[in-house]
């Protein structure tokens, strides 16, 4: 086993620096993509979210926040998720843009007349080709082992950015809705 050479605070600083660098690039290079993501979600009749692994967990966090705004949100795969249809949006996240289940879900959504919003690192992926709205995150994919892309393990930076993008979209939509935190709180789970 390798010897631990970095402290946790060194690692925390590294993660912060990588996130700050990519957020700065997104802010300057992808403002239009981010605004389109916010608009497509706000205009959806219903929002469905799908992702695999850690990306899927990150999108579930976004689903919860969108529900707090009053949007009708479903997590693909939950037994209560209805059929997707025209007027709906499928929000996806896949670093590679090639994850089979995510691409198949996006194709099914398109076939049903729904729009697809994709967050990925791969602008020319099958998922990107199906997307109505595309946010390309300049981060390492899970199979990119080069330290030049990210010193973090296996897509960690991308997954963290999925959370940050989701929270940022939520925050902007919340501010536009001019609703108080107390108003949103009435939708918070009370069966905990």
Catalytic (active site) residue 192: no
Cα Rg of the chain, angstroms: 17
Question: Which of the 8 DSSP states describes residue 46?
Answer: S
Strand partners, 145: none
Q: Please identify which of the residues 36, 159, 183, 192 carries the catalytic annotation.
A: 159
Is residue 88 within 8 A of residue 48, CB to CB? The reply is yes
Distance, in Å, from the CA atom of 119 to the CA atom of 112, rounded to the nearest integer, reads 20
Which class for 14: exposed (0-12), middle (13-18), buried (19 or more C-beta within 10 A)?
A: middle
Distance, in Å, from the CA atom of 132 to the CA atom of 117, rounded to the nearest integer, reads 6
Distance, in Å, from the CA atom of 151 to the CA atom of 27, rounded to the nearest integer, reads 22
Catalytic residues: 159
């Amino acid at each position: 086993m390798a010897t631990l050479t970095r402290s946790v605070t060194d690692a925390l600083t590294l993660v912060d620096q990588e996130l700050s660098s990519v957020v700065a690039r997104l802010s300057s290079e992808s403002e239009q993509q981010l605004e389109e993501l916010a608009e497509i979600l706000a205009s959806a009749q219903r929002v469905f979210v799908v992702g695999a692994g850690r990306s899927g967990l990150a999108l579930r966090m976004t689903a919860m926040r969108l529900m707090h705004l009053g949007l009708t949100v479903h997590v693909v795969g939950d037994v209560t998720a209805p059929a997707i249809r025209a007027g709906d949006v499928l929000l996806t996240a896949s670093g590679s843009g090639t994850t089979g289940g995510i691409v198949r879900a996006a194709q099914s959504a398109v076939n049903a007349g729904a729009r697809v919003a994709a967050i990925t690192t791969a602008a020319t992926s099958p998922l990107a080709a199906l997307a109505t709205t595309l946010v390309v995150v300049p981060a390492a994919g899970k199979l990119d082992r080069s330290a030049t892309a990210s010193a973090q393990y296996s897509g960690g930076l991308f997954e963290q950015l999925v959370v940050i993008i989701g929270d940022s979209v939520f925050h902007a939509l919340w501010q536009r809705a001019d609703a108080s935190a107390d108003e949103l709180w009435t939708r918070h789970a009370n069966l905990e």
